[in-house]
A and B are shown apart, each in its own frame.
Chain A
Amino acid sequence: MSKYTEDDLKKELETKEYEYGFYTDIEADKFPVGLNEDIVRAISKKKNEPEWMTEWRLEAFRVWESMTEPEWANVNYPKPDFQGISYYSAPKQKPQLESLDQVDPELLKTFEKLGISIDEQKRLSNVAVDIVMDSVSVATTFKKTLGEKGIIFCPISEAIQEHPELVKKYIGSVVPTTDNYYAALNSAVFSDGSFCYIPKGVKCPMELSTYFRINEGGTGQFERTLVVADKGSYVSYLEGCTAPARDENQLHAAVVELIALDDAEIKYSTVQNWFPGDKDGKGGVFNFVTKRGLCETNAKISWTQVETGSAVTWKYPSCILKGNNSVGEFYSIAVTNNFQQADTGTKMIHLGKNTKSTIISKGISAGKSQNSYRGLVHVGSRAENARNFSQCDSLLMGNECGAHTFPYIEAKNKTAQIEHEATTSKIGEDQLFYCNQRGIDTDKAIALIVNGFSKEVLNKLPMEFAVEAQKLLEISLEGSVG
């Protein structure tokens, strides 16, 4: 990736509106709006799924029907009309990906605008990309290289066909269909997503990457991601999101499940930039995501997220530290501006002995936004010598935004050591004047201060992602003071 210069940033700052707010004109194959058992069956049929999968979806649907939308989060929004959404949308043209020529040129143009030209990716970077356009994966690269190591990285719909034994064994094993309202909904109607399996003892030679995009107006997006790292393996997985600007609210309810078997390690990094709504709080994506990982003995799962987008975010990437000596980490930067609302954090569930978890959460609020950290540290009765360290820092800009911290601690074992630190600070006039006096204008000064504040988390991201994340932070907060 070429170096990102300050001039590039300046150019970007000139366009204050959401920069990825374009819309790709691809014919879509769309279901009628509404949700019932027939629709669930139709989705499953469309995907040519085996019966066990159809049944699994139907079971989830029945559970979902009996549930109500959760209200405990510190967010306010008009409840989506779940019967007013179309639950399936796929690009009509379904290219066989032997070469890029077979991909819809419109789609390629979109990728170019996003700066993720597959061609470039193939030649220049070491990143394999499984691109999700609307709901169906249309491009998978690097498959061969991965195949040689026995790594499976493909759309989950393909995995259901070709590796049913793996999918059947692990899907819903960390996030059961009954887990929560949105997870149940996702289980019933998920259209596609990614599947990744790293065999025993294999260290994945490249960062695996998925780009999600919501495209078709009024279509809910329900992605399902399943990553299984077999014993002693390692994988670093990147997930990045952009979405076109839209007036109506778009619902996004994804489920991500990670399984790290004995001695395995999974690093999962997200840069989330869904459309946050405009300056008056109109539009924007509702992002209700369930992300959870399971660690067996000596395993490690690291979640790193940079959340700058969405009108409403409800997201708690969590770790179940089931195996002895397992490690869970959560590093998060959540930025809210204008009328955005975020309720995000993590759950660290210590079940095994000598389990360790670290939580570093950086919340940045500007405009009239509300930014909440919500985290649970649970130490089970058998989790001897469990240790947790949590640090929650909030940075405020202006007088109209809010930062909230809701830490929950449940310790059922006396040997547990749990530390929680929290700070709240404000970008002050004094800091800005100091920077100004040194020749640094206010927008640049904010970027500098915010990057400094977020550094511990940015440092956890893979290089190419860190640059993108830094860019996003600066763009998201541009013009938010003064």
Chain B
Amino acid sequence: MLEINNLHAKIEDKDILKGINLNVKAGEVHAIMGPNGSGKSTLASVIAGREDYEVSEGNILLNNEDLEDLAPEERAHKGVFLSFQYPVEIPGVTVTNFIKTAINESRKANGHEELPAKEMLQKIREKAELLDIDRKFLSRSLNEGFSGGEKKRNEIFQMAMLEPKLSILDETDSGLDIDALKVVANGVNKLKSQDNAVVLITHYQRLLEYIVPDYVHVLHDGKIVKSGGKELALELEAKGYDWLK
């Protein structure tokens, strides 16, 4: 599904990613761990196509298609989803209106008609139920005055609605208490399937207790320095990151 080859990326002449290789197949969950400043969030942004970063070498393929020339929205239309570490507020735009717009824009880009209002409502109801979201929440302005937990839950709700092929969850566990973390993890687990893939970006092992990865990669100074199974996460928890430097 996702193939990253020798990816180098920089921002304002500062090299951040220095040769990343990663291969994620459909149905898999990969965790990318690493200390602050190792390039985890940069990797997420670069995959999503944020223009602040310049890819200087290497490539990113999604289902064998090079993403390089695609704008962020085009990548989204092809099934890339990024759950943001810090979701932005859009005052006056309700969660429902936002997700409706997002879904219809993707549908149009892929040559489909807009989703009829009735089906849209049905889908919203279904996914809200799946993720245990109060319907009142859906008529609030996007992320405005949301608690940390609500923001992250809203990201997962959007993921559920958009049904992406590749979901990148950037520090989804940050700022969550244990109950909120469980709700979010539970949602991600329910959305996992043989047709999609999840990349979890996290600093701590905590999230991986609830979303169990197939592979764990350690990112350090812009490179993956170690890869392994889920046990690697426990090892990191016990020993910290220093032994890998």
Contacts and interface: CB of A to CB of B under 8 A. Distances in A.
A433 interface: yes
Contacts of B158: 438
B82 A448 contact: no
A438 B48 CA distance: 10
A438 B87 CA distance: 12
A453 B81 CA distance: 26
Contacts of B93: 448-449, 451-452
A138 B129 CA distance: 58
B81 to A, nearest CB: 8
A454 interface: yes
Given A439-B73, A439-B106, A448-B101, A433 B92 contact: no
Contacts of A448: 90, 93, 97-98, 101
A47 interface: no
A203 interface: no
A440 to B, nearest CB: 5
A435 B97 CA distance: 12
A440 B100 CA distance: 11
A6 B107 CA distance: 13
A440 B92 CA distance: 17
A455 interface: yes
Contacts of B51: 433
Contacts of B82: 437
Contact of A436 (B71, B87, B141): B71
A444 B106 CA distance: 12
Contacts of A453: 91-92
Contacts of B72: 433, 436-437
Given A439-B73, A440-B102, A441-B105, A433 B90 contact: no
B88 A431 contact: yes
B90 A449 contact: yes
Interface in A285-333: none
Contacts of A449: 90, 93
Interface in A416-465: 428-431, 433-441, 444, 448-449, 451-456
A454 B91 CA distance: 10
Given A439-B76, A441-B73, A451 B92 contact: yes
Nearest to B50: A433
A378 to B, nearest CB: 31
Contacts of A440: 73, 101-102, 105
B92 A454 contact: yes
Interface in B69-104: 71-73, 75-77, 80-82, 84, 86-88, 90-93, 97-98, 101-104
B162 A438 contact: yes
Contacts of B108: 6
Interface in B37-93: 48-52, 71-73, 75-77, 80-82, 84, 86-88, 90-93
Nearest to B72: A436
Contacts of B75: 437
A250 B88 CA distance: 43
A437 B101 contact: no
A434 B98 CA distance: 11
A433 B158 CA distance: 15
A190 B58 CA distance: 70
B117 to A, nearest CB: 11
A430 B106 CA distance: 20
- The listed residue with most A CB atoms (<10 A of its CB), out of B86, B92, B102, is B92
Interface residues of A, number: 23
Contact of A437 (B76, B90, B103, B114): B76
Contacts of A436: 49, 71-73, 76
A439 B51 CA distance: 15
A438 B92 contact: no
B130 interface: no
Nearest to B109: A439
Contacts of A435: 90, 102
A37 B84 CA distance: 69
A434 B49 CA distance: 11
A34 to B, nearest CB: 49
Contacts of A455: 92
Contact of B88 (A434, A439, A454): A434
A438 B102 contact: yes
Given A438-B102, A438-B158, A452 B91 contact: yes
A286 B172 CA distance: 52
Contacts of A437: 48-49, 72-73, 75-76, 80-82, 84
Contacts of B81: 437
Nearest to A440: B105
A452 B88 contact: no
B90 A438 contact: no
A307 B138 CA distance: 31
A434 B86 CA distance: 10
Contact of A439 (B105, B114, B141): B105
A439 B112 CA distance: 14
Contacts of B104: 6
Nearest to A436: B72
B105 A452 contact: no
Contacts of B106: 439
A440 B84 CA distance: 16
A452 B73 contact: no
B92 A452 contact: yes
Contacts of A6: 104, 108, 114
Contacts of A454: 92
A460 B86 CA distance: 33
Looking at A428, A430, A452, the one whose CB has the most chain B CB atoms below 10 A away is A452
Interface of B: 48-52, 71-73, 75-77, 80-82, 84, 86-88, 90-93, 97-98, 101-106, 108-109, 114, 141, 158, 162
21 contacts: A6-B104, A428-B88, A430-B86, A431-B88, A434-B84, A434-B90, A435-B90, A436-B72, A436-B73, A436-B76, A437-B49, A437-B72, A437-B75, A439-B73, A439-B105, A439-B106, A440-B73, A448-B90, A449-B90, A451-B92, A456-B92
Given A436-B72, A436-B73, A438-B162, 8 more contacts: A433-B50, A434-B84, A436-B76, A437-B82, A438-B73, A439-B105, A452-B93, A454-B92
Give the top 4 A-B pairs by smallest Cβ distance, nearest first: A452-B92, A452-B93, A439-B76, A436-B72
